[in-house]
């Protein structure tokens, strides 16, 4: 073909123009080839990765939290399915419109939903469901299911909800789970927004055993978030079930005995340290916290003057009163300062400097040896014992016996209490320790503070051969012997026997029963230093907050089983009178009703031996 | 009108026609893939590719209609068409129909007309007519005369707003002017002033148009807005790698991450599924197609025909450059479709009409003179 033609007008087509066209075509080809090379070959790998991320979402599969059962297999903490309404931001075209619609369906306040959204937005990825409403009723669920189709991004989430069948009864043992907060998320990278974690009690301490491991699934989605396919990458592993040493029946029975009062009961198996019952009254309902406690309810609980949230068994410490005399006796015997047969004369008071320290028995006990001092709880005997020991030796022995430090039970925020010493006084107040203070400490008053659980642990060590065992709530956990009591078997048995005598003939006679061996020591701990005029006031005449704390520390043996039961009633008055009958009925539960004996309550009214201590 | 010479059919530019058929076929095949998206196990299809076939048939009719008469009669149609176009463009803001927020359509009941499409023809014809009048390079006077005639319709299209079509008209004309050649002094002055004027043009752009240009340089600037298109399109293209993911296997397009995949971003679907190799073949096809059009311009029997063919060349050249440049992330996102590949009724018809004009010019190259 010829290259050019003469046109009809005799003019040539523009030659430069033709070169331009060819140059442009060549340029176009080179430009696009280079660019395509760059995108598809040079950076192809990179874009391939991006494409995979684009279409795949990874989502975790929730692992069921381990159940918690009592020793007989009764469920104490279980999982129930719960439905939540989630919003996937990436798929939601009109957030405000959607939230308005949700508000319309549920009757919730739009502003509240919007706040939830704004808060959640910062903490969840655009493709993760942001939980708008945590717990949907079935009625609401049906309503939303029917309408949600036309609102992209809304998703019904099926989750597990912790449920505590005996919410009130077990609250101080189990604690509760609640949605992980910012702090939890920070601490544990495996947690995601909306996950539940243990916040209190066993749920908190044994979180790792209960939680299990989340699974992972991969979901293929399109740009509208519609799911096309999914497969499981990692199967979830459910958390382990926990069988507790708690006997739910005993727990309920014990709690009933304390009803209407503030106090604590610890029931331990003396040989293993396993906790059979752990009661702190008043209590709260664990279930309240699971779905987020309403602020009003929380304020009520927090401001309640009876402090229902406080675990009085392990988190509260009190002056132990005369129950501390058990330790004083053990310390003195262990130090070899006194023989059990040595006597002290009690005239009703003991003078140190210009101050008279009174025995609880105005007329005095006369001549007392260690056995009768324990049985009748003679203060003067222990004043003198304390004088001889000195506070630092008392301190050392008490610490060895497990006082002044957390017991190590599987519960959080345990208090260690306080066993004073000269160094402590100096450090704390910059003052020297005084003799008078030693006397006060000797009878478990003043600055001595112990938790009911510490006392139970100590009593258990007295009766189980001197092994100081960590109290434990999990049935199958191995027995954890922390230390050995620094006391000869002979001396230890002497104290145990003295406790049995206290039940037979002393301040704890309410516990007496023919078919079992019971030992005990009562205690009455002054809350405030009363003016002399008030000292002899009857308990019921005093203002509640001024009443003494009533203690009783006991052990009971029948059919080869030995239990330790410690009870403390806050502002309950005299230990024997208030705490005694409670412990009595606990033994009734443990050993069966005592044959030939009037019921515990009746016995309490019938027999009023010594109002001791 | 002269009777149709039967010999004309033997002179049909078969290579050009074949190239158009191949490109259009590729486009339909690509639309078949782009219009399907997976739901569950099955494939559900939007019938874009079917509609496109119908538009193609309609376009073919127009193509035939535009080849049967001697293109020199278009000289007489040029000015009346320009006047009609201007009237219709003026009517758009008054009685136009608003679609997607822009007034571009005139509703005539049975059919809707986009006067901006008409403006492309008018510009092509008037431009070819004016530029072919004299020979030699353009001086100031003739340049300004041409611009004075063609700038008003272009401006009216741009304010509709239809930046894509407006640019198309302007660039088409610029291409034809360059094809004619500028006088040395004019060229030198323009070489200095035009780049200087471009920043001034910035102030006439709407905010979203400015954003699109800024986004080009930094797509992450607005990843969910205008940058989203660029990012997703580059992911789709890039992830195709050397050999592509295979027909109907493009995950980015099948899963709808790629927006407007059947219209302006259709070529990204192609690049994802056919990879670097397939994309290069497509680019090569376009280059062959353009070369054939350049050949028509070269071989035309008169200057009017040559300028018509050059106009058609530039019409396609700019669209290919801008659309693919946009999809490949080297040009701003402007709504310009890729000829034969993108879905679109009026664009398809206009494309076929222009091919018809080019074929018309091509087949009559021997009428008066033969070797």
- CB-CB under 8 Å, A40 with B276: yes
Residues in A closer than 8 angstroms to B302, CB to CB, are: 7-9
- Vertex A101: Cα angle to A100 and A102 (nearest 5): 90
Q: How far is B108 from chain A (nearest CA, A)?
A: 35
Which among A25, A47, A55 has CB closest to B238? A47
- CB-CB under 8 Å, A41 with B234: no
Q: How far is A2 from chain B (nearest CA, A)?
A: 8
Active site residue A7: no
A and B: number of Cβ contacts within 8 A? 163
The average confidence (pLDDT) of chain A is 85
Residues in B closer than 8 angstroms to A11, CB to CB, are: 135, 303
Phi and psi torsions of B248, nearest 5°: 70, 10
Chain A 55-84, residues with CB within 8 Å of chain B CB atoms = 55
Residues in A closer than 8 angstroms to B310, CB to CB, are: 17, 21
Q: What is the Cα–Cα distance from A475 to A470, expressed in whole angstroms?
A: 13
Choose from A109-118, A273-282, B141-150, B222-231 the range with maximum mean pLDDT: A273-282
Choose from A442-451, A536-545, B36-45, B107-116 the range with maximum mean pLDDT: A442-451
Q: How would you classify the pairing of strands B42-45 and B36-39?
A: antiparallel
- CB-CB under 8 Å, A45 with B328: no
Question: Who has greater pLDDT, A98 or B35?
Answer: A98
CA-based diameter of chain A, in Å?
A: 150
CB–CB of A590/A250 below 8 Å? yes
Helix pair angle (A95-106, A110-123), 10° resolution: 130
Nearest alpha carbon to residue A258 among A437, A96, A452: A452
Query: Which residues pair with residue A542 across a beta bridge?
Result: none
Q: How far is B101 from chain A (nearest CA, A)?
A: 19
Query: Which residues pair with residue B102 across a beta bridge?
Result: B99
Residues of chain B with pLDDT under 50: 1, 37-44, 369-371
Which among A5, A17, A39 has CB closest to B237? A39
What share of chain A has pLDDT > 70, as a percent? 89
**Mean pLDDT of the region A373-389:** 92
Which among B232, B259, B301 has CB closest to A7? B301
Query: A23, A39, A224: best mutation site toward chain B, by most B Cβ within 10 Å?
Result: A39
- CB-CB under 8 Å, A228 with B40: yes
Q: CB neighbours of B268 closer than 8 A, spacing ≥ 6?
A: B233, B236, B237, B252, B253, B258, B261, B327
Residue B280 has what pLDDT?
A: 94
Question: Who has greater pLDDT, A484 or A540?
Answer: A484
Domains in chain B: boundaries: 1-65+217-371, 77-204
Residue A30 near chain B (CB below 8 Å): no
Residues in B closer than 8 angstroms to A48, CB to CB, are: 238-239, 241
Q: CB neighbours of A594 closer than 8 A, spacing ≥ 6?
A: A513, A514, A515, A516, A587, A588
The confidence band for A451, taking pLDDT boundaries of 50, 70 and 90, is: very high
- Whether the pLDDT of residue A3 is over 50: the answer is no
Nearest alpha carbon to residue A236 among A259, A221, A255, A217: A217
Question: Who has greater pLDDT, B187 or A29?
Answer: A29
Residue A33 near chain B (CB below 8 Å): yes
Q: CB neighbours of A227 closer than 8 A, spacing ≥ 6?
A: A219, A220, A221
- Whether the pLDDT of residue A522 is over 60: the answer is yes
- Whether the pLDDT of residue A468 is over 90: the answer is yes
Residues in A closer than 8 angstroms to B38, CB to CB, are: 222, 228
- CB-CB under 8 Å, B239 with A25: no
pTM recorded for the entire structure: 0.61
Checking phi first, is residue B14 left (phi over 0); if not, alpha (psi -120 to 50) or beta?
A: alpha
The confidence band for A4, taking pLDDT boundaries of 50, 70 and 90, is: very low
CB half-sphere exposure, B310, CA atoms < 13 A: 35
- Nearest C-alpha in B relative to A227: B40
Q: Which residue ranges does chain A devote to CATH 3.40.710.10?
A: 248-281+314-607
- Nearest C-alpha in A relative to B301: A7
The pairs formed by A332-336 with CB atoms below 8 angstroms and a separation of 24 or more are: A332/A370, A332/A385, A332/A388, A332/A389, A333/A370, A333/A487, A333/A488, A333/A491, A333/A494, A333/A495, A334/A397, A334/A486, A334/A487, A334/A488, A334/A491, A335/A389, A335/A393, A335/A397
- CB-CB under 8 Å, A8 with B241: no
Q: How far is A23 from chain B (nearest CA, A)?
A: 10
Q: How would you classify the pairing of strands A481-484 and A467-469?
A: antiparallel
Which segment of A314-323, A425-434, A475-484, B184-193 scores lowest on mean pLDDT? Answer: B184-193
* CA quadruple B331, B334, B339, B343: dihedral sign: positive
Q: How far is B61 from chain A (nearest CA, A)?
A: 29
- CB-CB under 8 Å, A31 with B237: no
Residue B156 has what pLDDT?
A: 87
Phi and psi torsions of B216, nearest 5°: -55, -40
Residue A14 near chain B (CB below 8 Å): yes
- Taking each continuous run of H as one helix and of E as one strand, the counts in chain A are 22, 21
- CB-CB under 8 Å, B287 with A36: no
Q: How far is A35 from chain B (nearest CA, A)?
A: 7
Read off the pLDDT of residues A169-191 as tens digits, 9 standing for 90 and up: 999 999 999 888 878 878 887 78
Q: CB neighbours of A212 closer than 8 A, spacing ≥ 6?
A: A63, A64, A65, A66, A236, A237, A238, A239, A240
Which among A25, A33, A44 has CB closest to B290? A25
- Nearest C-alpha in A relative to B232: A51
> Which candidate in A245, A283, A286, A322 is catalytic?
A322
**Mean pLDDT of the region A517-525:** 91
- Whether the pLDDT of residue A402 is over 60: the answer is yes
- Whether the pLDDT of residue A604 is over 60: the answer is no
- CB-CB under 8 Å, B179 with A17: yes
Q: How far is B358 from chain A (nearest CA, A)?
A: 15
Q: What is the Cα–Cα distance from B322 to B172, expressed in whole angstroms?
A: 13
Looking at CATH, the fold of the domain delimited by A57-243 is given as Penicillin-binding protein 2a (Domain 2) (3.90.1310)
The confidence band for A5, taking pLDDT boundaries of 50, 70 and 90, is: very low
Q: How far is A159 from chain B (nearest CA, A)?
A: 25
Looking at CATH, the fold of the domain delimited by A248-281+314-607 is given as Beta-lactamase (3.40.710)
Chain A 225-254, residues with CB within 8 Å of chain B CB atoms = 226, 228
Which among A18, A54, A55 has CB closest to B298? A18
Q: CB neighbours of A13 closer than 8 A, spacing ≥ 6?
A: A4, A7, B297, B298, B300, B303, B306
Chain A 194-223, residues with CB within 8 Å of chain B CB atoms = 220-223
Helices (H), A248-292: 248-257, 287-290
Query: B132, B223, B239: best mutation site toward chain A, by most A Cβ within 10 Å?
Result: B239
Residue B257 has what pLDDT?
A: 63
Q: What is the ipTM of this complex?
A: 0.87
Q: What is the Cα–Cα distance from A24 to B307, expressed in whole angstroms?
A: 16
Residue A605 has what pLDDT?
A: 41
**Length reported for chain B:** 371
B21 C-beta neighbours (distance < 10 Å), count: 13
A105 C-beta neighbours (distance < 10 Å), count: 18
Read off the pLDDT of residues A300-356 as tens digits, 9 standing for 90 and up: 999 998 889 999 999 999 999 999 999 999 999 999 989 989 999 999 889 888 888
- Vertex A464: Cα angle to A463 and A469 (nearest 5): 115
Question: Who has greater pLDDT, B91 or A596?
Answer: B91
Residue A42 near chain B (CB below 8 Å): no
Residue A24 near chain B (CB below 8 Å): yes
Residue B340 has what pLDDT?
A: 92
- CB-CB under 8 Å, A50 with B235: yes
């Amino acid at each position: 073909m010829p290259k050019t033609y003469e046109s009809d007008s005799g003019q040539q087509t523009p030659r430069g123009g033709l070169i331009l066209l060819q140059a442009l075509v060549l340029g176009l080809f080179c430009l696009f080839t280079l660019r395509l090379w760059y995108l598809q070959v040079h950076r192809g790998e990179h874009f391939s990765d991006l494409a995979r991320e684009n279409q795949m979402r990874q989502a975790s599969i929730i692992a069921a939290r381990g159940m918690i059962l009592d020793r007989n297999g009764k469920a104490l903490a279980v999982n129930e399915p719960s439905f939540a309404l989630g919003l996937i931001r990436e798929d939601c075209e009109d957030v405000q419109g959607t939230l308005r619609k949700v508000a319309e369906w549920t009757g919730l306040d739009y502003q509240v939903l919007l706040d939830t959204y704004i808060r959640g937005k910062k903490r969840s990825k655009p493709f993760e469901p942001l939980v708008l409403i945590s717990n949907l009723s079935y009625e609401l669920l049906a309503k939303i299911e029917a309408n949600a189709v036309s609102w992209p991004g809304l998703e019904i989430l099926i989750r597990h909800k912790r449920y505590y069948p005996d919410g009130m009864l077990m609250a101080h043992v189990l604690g509760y789970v609640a949605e992980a907060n910012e702090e939890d998320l920070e601490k544990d990278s495996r947690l995601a927004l909306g996950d539940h974690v243990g916040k209190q009690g066993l749920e908190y301490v044994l979180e790792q055993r209960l939680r299990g491991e989340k699974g992972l699934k991969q979901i293929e989605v399109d740009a509208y978030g519609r799911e096309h396919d999914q497969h499981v990458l990692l199967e979830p592993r459910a958390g382990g079930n926990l069988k507790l040493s708690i006997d739910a029946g005993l727990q309920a029975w014990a709690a009933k005995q304390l009803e209407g009062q503030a106090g604590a009961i610890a029931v331990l198996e003396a040989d293993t340290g396993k906790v059979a019952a752990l009661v702190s009254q008043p209590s709260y309902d664990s279930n309240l916290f699971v779905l987020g406690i309403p602020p009003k309810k929380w304020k009520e609980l927090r401001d309640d003057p009876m402090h229902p949230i406080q675990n009085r068994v392990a988190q509260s410490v009190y002056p132990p009163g005369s129950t501390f005399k058990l330790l004083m006796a053990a310390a003195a015997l262990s130090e070899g300062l006194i023989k059990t047969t040595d006597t002290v004369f009690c005239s009703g008071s003991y003078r140190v400097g210009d101050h008279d320290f009174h025995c609880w028995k105005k007329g005095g006990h006369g001549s007392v040896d260690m056995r009768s001092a324990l049985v009748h709880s003679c203060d003067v005997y222990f004043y003198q014992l304390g004088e001889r020991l000195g506070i630092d030796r008392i301190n050392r022995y008490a610490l060895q016996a497990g006082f002044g430090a957390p017991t190590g039970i599987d519960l959080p925020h345990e208090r260690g209490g306080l066993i004073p010493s000269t160094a402590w006084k100096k450090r704390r107040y910059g003052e020297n320790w005084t003799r008078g203070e030693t006397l006060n400490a000797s009878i478990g008053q003043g600055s001595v503070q112990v938790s009911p659980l510490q006392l139970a642990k100590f009593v258990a060590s007295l009766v189980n051969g001197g092994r100081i065992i960590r109290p434990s709530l999990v049935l199958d956990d191995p027995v954890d012997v922390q230390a050995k009591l620094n006391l000869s078997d002979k001396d230890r048995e002497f104290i145990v026997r003295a406790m049995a005598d206290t039940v037979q003939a002393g301040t704890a006679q309410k516990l007496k029963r023919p078919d079992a061996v019971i030992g005990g020591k009562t205690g009455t701990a002054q809350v405030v230093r009363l003016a002399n005029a008030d000292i002899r006031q009857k308990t019921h005449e005093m203002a509640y907050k001024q009443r003494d704390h009533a203690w009783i520390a006991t052990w009971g043996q029948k059919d080869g089983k030995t239990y330790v039961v410690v009870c403390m009633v806050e502002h309950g008055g005299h230990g024997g009178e208030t705490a005694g009958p409670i412990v009595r009925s606990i033994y009734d539960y443990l050993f069966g009703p005592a044959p030939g004996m009037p019921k515990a309550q009746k016995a309490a009214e019938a027999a009023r031996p010594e109002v001791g201590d | 009108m002269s009777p149709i010479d039967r010999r004309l059919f033997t002179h049909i530019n078969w290579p050009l026609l074949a190239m158009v058929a191949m490109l259009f076929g590729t486009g339909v095949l690509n639309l078949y893939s782009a219009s399907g998206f997976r739901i569950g196990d099955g494939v559900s299809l939007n019938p874009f590719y079917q509609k496109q076939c119908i538009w193609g048939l309609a376009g073919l009719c127009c193509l035939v209609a535009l080849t049967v008469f001697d293109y020199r009669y278009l000289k007489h149609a040029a000015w009346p068409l320009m006047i009609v176009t201007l009237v219709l463009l003026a009517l758009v803001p008054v009685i136009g129909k608003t679609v997607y927020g822009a007034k571009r359509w005139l509703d005539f009941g049975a059919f809707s007309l986009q006067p901006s499409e008409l403006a492309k023809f008018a510009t092509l014809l008037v431009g070819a007519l004016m530029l072919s009048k004299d020979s030699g390079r353009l001086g100031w006077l003739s340049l300004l005369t041409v611009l004075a005639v063609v700038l008003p319709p272009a401006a009216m299209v741009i304010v509709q707003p239809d930046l894509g079509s407006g640019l198309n008209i302007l660039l088409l004309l610029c291409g034809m002017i360059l094809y004619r050649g500028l006088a040395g002094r004019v060229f030198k002055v323009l070489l200095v002033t035009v780049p200087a004027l471009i920043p001034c043009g910035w102030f006439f752009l709407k905010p979203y148009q400015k954003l699109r240009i800024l986004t080009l340089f930094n797509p992450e600037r607005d990843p969910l807005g205008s940058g989203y298109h660029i990012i997703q399109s580059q992911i789709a293209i890039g992830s195709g790698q050397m050999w592509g993911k295979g027909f109907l296997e493009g995950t980015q397009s099948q899963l709808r991450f790629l927006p407007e995949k059947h219209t302006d971003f259709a070529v990204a679907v192609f690049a994802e599924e056919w990879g670097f190799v397939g994309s290069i073949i497509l680019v090569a096809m376009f280059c062959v197609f353009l070369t054939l059009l350049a050949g028509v311009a070269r071989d035309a029997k008169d200057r009017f025909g040559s300028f018509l063919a050059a106009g058609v060349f530039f019409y396609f050249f700019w669209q290919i450059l801008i659309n693919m440049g946009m999809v490949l992330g080297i040009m701003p996102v402007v709504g310009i479709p890729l000829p034969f590949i993108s879905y679109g009724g009026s664009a398809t018809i206009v494309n076929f009409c222009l091919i018809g004009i080019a074929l018309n010019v091509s087949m009559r190259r021997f009428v008066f003179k033969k070797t």
